[in-house]
Amino acid sequence: MTSATDIGNTRPSAHEPESVARIHDVCFYSLTSSAWDDPLLGEPQFGPEVVDSAFRETHTSNIPVFEHPCLPLSKILSSGTFYYATNSTWDLSSRLSVRLARNAVSSRDIDTFDERFVWNEYILRSLLDFRERLNLHERKEMDRCQFLVR
């Protein structure tokens, strides 16, 4: 996420804020290649030996044939209809009454969420399964880095 606006706090009287932000812009970077890492250009950044090849073919209007592989997802996430909890210790996907009931028993585990309201539930479930196999120290470290976003 490269741009967002703070919307507000859903529970101002809570001892910990439950702030929400609206996503305006996102950027994706490959873990295996730097070919698409310049989001301003909107086209792959290949070496000179590839630039002259079929990868560089253009239409008559000089628009690149290839678009960023994450462009459709970027457009959806940047539509202004996606939100996230700015403090990852609370669950934006659950109703207030559910969160209050969880707080009563002090359950703050990241794997508690309502999958109906999580856009990446399938991916998140796989990562939570991976997290579950970690030892306690590694799990706490992963949680501290806030790698998993509901």
Higher pLDDT, 128 or 44: 128
Give the model's pLDDT for residue 118. Answer: 73
Give the model's pLDDT for residue 44. Answer: 55
pTM of the full structure? 0.58
Predicted confidence (pLDDT) per residue in 41-95, tens digit: 555 555 444 444 444 444 445 555 577 888 888 899 899 998 888 876 677 777 8
What are the start-end ranges of the E strands in the chain? 3-9, 19-25, 83-85
Please state the separation of Cα 106 from the chain's center in Å.
26
Predicted confidence (pLDDT) per residue in 109-121, tens digit: 666 777 777 777 7
Could you tell me which residues are beta bridge partners of residue 19? 9
* Least confident window among 9-13, 63-67, 126-130: 63-67
Return d(Cα 17, Cα 90) in angstroms, integer.
9
**Spans of all domains in the chain:** 3-107
Return d(Cα 23, Cα 7) in angstroms, integer.
10
Question: Helices 121-132 and 136-144 meet at what angle, rounded to 10?
Answer: 140
Cα dist. 71→130, 135, 148 in Å? 28, 36, 22
Question: What phi and psi values does residue 98 have, to the nearest 5 degrees?
Answer: -70, -45
Higher pLDDT, 5 or 45: 5
